[in-house]
Amino acid sequence: MKDTTPIQLKEIGLKITPQRQAILKLLKGNETHPSAESIYSEISKKFPGISFATVYNTLSKLIEAGEIRELDIDPNKRRFDPCVAPHTHFYCQACGNIFDISHDFHLPLTIKRIDGHQVDVVQLNLKGVCKNCRKIP
């Protein structure tokens, strides 16, 4: 996640509140690819009055501004990634965890056109069973 300051929050149309700042703090450097529900659950511990709509709307604005990415890898819920640089994800079908993969697949992840189509987003998603669930040393 880029370093989002209160000034940048205003620029993307968000009122600066302690709740939104807590959402940003939770996302910054977070490699668990949290869902909106898990973010809400965590933030509501400190801010019991926060609404799910506030969390969801904040995430939507951050996506629009290019501050976070929305992942479509989890079949059960939308997940969010504060790392906007192109990279690959692995989804474990056993435990539901999502992992960043640094393996170089030799794919043009910054491709702009293919067969005459304009490409806006490239996401390579891998699915299987993670090493923890397979219990491989």
Residue ranges per structural domain of the chain: 6-71, 86-134
* CATH code for residues 6-71: 1.10.10.10
| Below-70 pLDDT ranges, the chain | 1-7, 104-110, 136-137
Architecture of the domain whose range is 86-134: 2-Layer Sandwich (3.30)
Q: What is the pLDDT of residue 1?
A: 63
CA quadruple 88, 58, 7, 121: dihedral sign: positive
